[in-house]
Amino acid sequence: MNYILKDENAIYYECGFSCDNVIFLKFGSEAFFVTDSRYDTEANEYIQNAEVIITNRRDMFPKVRELIKNAKIKELVFDPREWSLYAYEEFSKDLDGVEFKKIDNFSQKQRIIKSANELDILRKAAKFGAKAFDSFAKFLNESGLHASEQRLHFEAERILKNYGELGLSFSPIFGVNKNSAKCHALPFLDTLNNGDLILFDAGVTYKRYCSDRTRTVEFNQKINFGKNQKFSETKRQKIYDIVLKSQEAGIKKAKAGVKACEVDKACRDVIDSLGYGKYFIHSTGHGVGLDIHELPIISKTSETVLKEGMVLTIEPGIYLPEEFGVRIEDTLIITDGKAEIIGK
């Protein structure tokens, strides 16, 4: 198969290195990493199984077209999600006789089943992520009282990065009380007080692979981010218990041979049956790997059949506008036919 890539993680998967200005070409057994002189040293040091071609930034597209022409390529696969209209027009012009074949999520489809090495890295990333959650809980207990969401969001990033040893899977979500009812809440200046509800969604990257986890707790200067949580308000406890039951149903359902939509339904049925279906406003989960959101998608409509080596999240939630939200999320590996929770 012949294909062209622009996405950094897609390229990293192919050759062990990437950067913010590169085009990767694969023609059968040949591969080319085309970049500019800023990345000459690192590319030649780290890249595996590809020829490094250094050119001026303005000459990258002409060089790519030249390589395609010289290889006499008749069909070239590309993922339209990776390319701007300008970039697509630049690499594809003046290539008469070449058929450009669009495949959505091309690279993610190639890497939906993780290798043993990838699974080992993902397990380690999840453990580092869980350890960061513990460290952040300690910080909250010691210094969180009366601090603003913005300050605590900043401190969460600092702790997650562990002094630069790890990266962030995404900017963490730290929502208090009403702000927790927003799935992807932005931090405000509201301050944290005893009895406040906290929704915390965060992840780290280790060797570029992501972790992802969400917990909901009530702040009392003795918190932990385990799933066995007690709340002072009856309604909060009720909603939390429903979401936890929903997540447990999804984890139990997630097995090799089961469709992703069936896992979504297992979670959704619990919440629907207890009258809160309209407040579960997103899909049940997603794949995790080099990207924080990968295949498989765990949704109502996903017909993907779960297989050994797939990695996914289960993260049902209930969001009551102007009140609070609850989400509980873990990352799973399908192994030995069933779901293994990583990063406990």
Domain boundary residue, one of 93, 110, 127: 110
Give the confidence band of 179 by pLDDT, cuts at 50, 70, 90: very high
Beta strands in the chain (DSSP E): 2-5, 22-27, 30-35, 51-54, 75-78, 99-102, 167-168, 173-176, 197-202, 204-206, 209-210, 213-218, 285-287, 294-298, 311-314, 317-320, 324-327, 330-335, 338-342
Residues 95 and 12 in one domain: yes
For residue 105, give the CATH number of its domain: 3.40.350.10
pLDDT digits (tens, 9 = 90+) for 250-262: 999 999 999 999 9
pLDDT digits (tens, 9 = 90+) for 131-145: 999 999 999 999 999
Residue 86 has pLDDT above 90, yes or no: yes
Tokens of 122: 């993902």
For residue 146, give the CATH number of its domain: 3.90.230.10
pLDDT digits (tens, 9 = 90+) for 105-154: 999 999 999 999 999 999 999 999 999 999 999 999 999 999 999 999 99
Nearest residue to 298 via CA among 341, 251, 342, 343: 251
Residues 142 and 99 in one domain: no
Residue 73 has pLDDT above 90, yes or no: yes
What pLDDT does residue 46 have? 97
Residue 337 belongs to domain spanning: 116-342
Q: What is the mean pLDDT of residues 220-234?
A: 96
Residue 344 has pLDDT above 90, yes or no: no
